[in-house]
Amino acid sequence: MLEFSGIPRPERLIDENGRRIDGRRPDELRPIKMEVGVLDKSDGSAYIEFGGTKVIAAVFGPREAHPRHLALPDRAILNCRYHMTSFSVEERKPLGMTRREIELSKVIREALETVTFLEEFPRAAIDVYVEVIQADGGTRTAGLTAASLALADAGIPMADLIAATAVGKVDGHLVLDLCDLEDKYGEADMPVAMAPRFNSIVMLQLNGRMAIDEFRRALALAQKGINEIYKLQREVLKRKFSELSPEEV
Ligand code: UDP
């Protein structure tokens, strides 16, 4: 039988009552925790938990771009690093950036660039760090969601926040917000990120296969989850900024 990281495939990923291995309904997100301003040293930060996936994001800047010859005359450079800590996964991840982490850093950067007003900071650089503390599926979507919150927390002007989750196909059922086992043993995994205010998709990847009709239904399911996440993001930011005195805003 197929086996990843020593964890065998459960006999069934969906039970006779339509429940998933962690007891969720197919259209249910995992329990979410969100906090902004969790770090003192960075200009903006956010912590997110989507079930067992725990991610922290930190933003520095805008600051003068270094080395200077890399500075752009008409906009800021957005540097982005997605990284998994060695202890975030079952089989300790090697130190240093893997190809997967380099790819995900690029994917996250490109999504963030669609909503950030970089042209307001010519010759500057903004650094975004995404650290995965514990991985249980959906780290790129949790990372992107946290990174957009950290940018907002840093006061960087943005057209919208980015909210993201994955949808997929597991034992023939479409499911929202896949955990690691569903990701590994399911038939398809599709991370989706949106700028919900504009109803625009800023990142979409698909690993596996879906029929066209399934793809449409999966996208609608992702959108439902994204709207729930977006609501929580706005609440957490409102809470933070309503607690600040007028001088601090
Ligand atoms: N994973 C792992 N080791 C790795 C990379 C990933 O155990 O080196 C696990 C981790 O739980 C991750 C999941 O596999 O969340 C799915 O990884 P994928 O590449 O699909 O990205 P993600 O869903 O985290 O965005």
User: Residue 193 sits in a domain of what CATH number?
Assistant: 3.30.230.70
**CA atoms of 142 and 177, how far apart (whole Å):** 10
Considering the domain boundaries, does residue 44 fall inside one? yes
Atom of ligand 1 nearest to the CA of 189: 20
Considering the domain boundaries, does residue 4 fall inside one? no
- Cis upstream peptide for 67 (omega within 30°): yes
Considering the domain boundaries, does residue 127 fall inside one? yes
**Domain extent at residue 189:** 27-242
Query: Looking at residue 65, what is its pLDDT?
Result: 95
Considering the domain boundaries, does residue 100 fall inside one? yes
Q: What is the DSSP letter of 199?
A: T
Query: Looking at residue 9, what is its pLDDT?
Result: 85
- Report whether 202 contacts 114 (CB < 8 A): yes
Calculate how far, in angstroms, residue 142's C-alpha sits from the geometric centre of ligand 1.
Answer: 12
Query: Looking at residue 249, what is its pLDDT?
Result: 60
**CA atoms of 79 and 57, how far apart (whole Å):** 13
**CA atoms of 89 and 92, how far apart (whole Å):** 6
Query: Looking at residue 45, what is its pLDDT?
Result: 98
Query: Looking at residue 3, what is its pLDDT?
Result: 63
Considering the domain boundaries, does residue 201 fall inside one? yes
Q: pLDDT tens track of the chain, all 249 residues?
A: 566 666 788 889 999 999 999 999 999 999 999 999 999 999 999 999 999 999 999 999 999 999 999 999 999 999 999 999 999 999 888 888 999 999 999 999 999 999 999 999 999 999 999 999 999 999 999 999 999 999 999 999 999 999 999 999 999 999 999 999 999 999 999 999 999 999 999 999 999 999 999 999 999 999 999 999 999 999 999 999 888 777 766
Query: Looking at residue 140, what is its pLDDT?
Result: 98
**CA atoms of 175 and 172, how far apart (whole Å):** 9
Candidates 90, 180, 182, 184: which one to mutate for ligand 1, based on the most atoms within 8 Å of Cβ? 180
Considering the domain boundaries, does residue 48 fall inside one? yes
The whole-model pTM stands at: 0.95
Calculate how far, in angstroms, residue 240's C-alpha sits from the geometric centre of ligand 1.
Answer: 31
Considering the domain boundaries, does residue 13 fall inside one? no
Residue nearest to atom 5 of ligand 1 (CA): 89
Considering the domain boundaries, does residue 17 fall inside one? no
Structure tokens at 74: 């008409």
Candidates 89, 104, 165, 185: which one to mutate for ligand 1, based on the most atoms within 8 Å of Cβ? 89
CA distances 94 to 52, 132, 133, Å, are: 21, 14, 14
* Pocket flag, ligand 1, residue 181 (CB < 6 Å): no
Calculate how far, in angstroms, residue 167's C-alpha sits from the geometric centre of ligand 1.
Answer: 14
* Pocket flag, ligand 1, residue 219 (CB < 6 Å): no
Query: Looking at residue 154, what is its pLDDT?
Result: 98
**CA atoms of 49 and 98, how far apart (whole Å):** 23
Query: Looking at residue 4, what is its pLDDT?
Result: 65
Residue nearest to atom 13 of ligand 1 (CA): 137
**CA atoms of 247 and 249, how far apart (whole Å):** 6
Atom of ligand 1 nearest to the CA of 135: 11
- Report whether 123 contacts 64 (CB < 8 A): yes
* Domain count of the fold of the chain: 1
Q: What is the DSSP letter of 40?
A: S
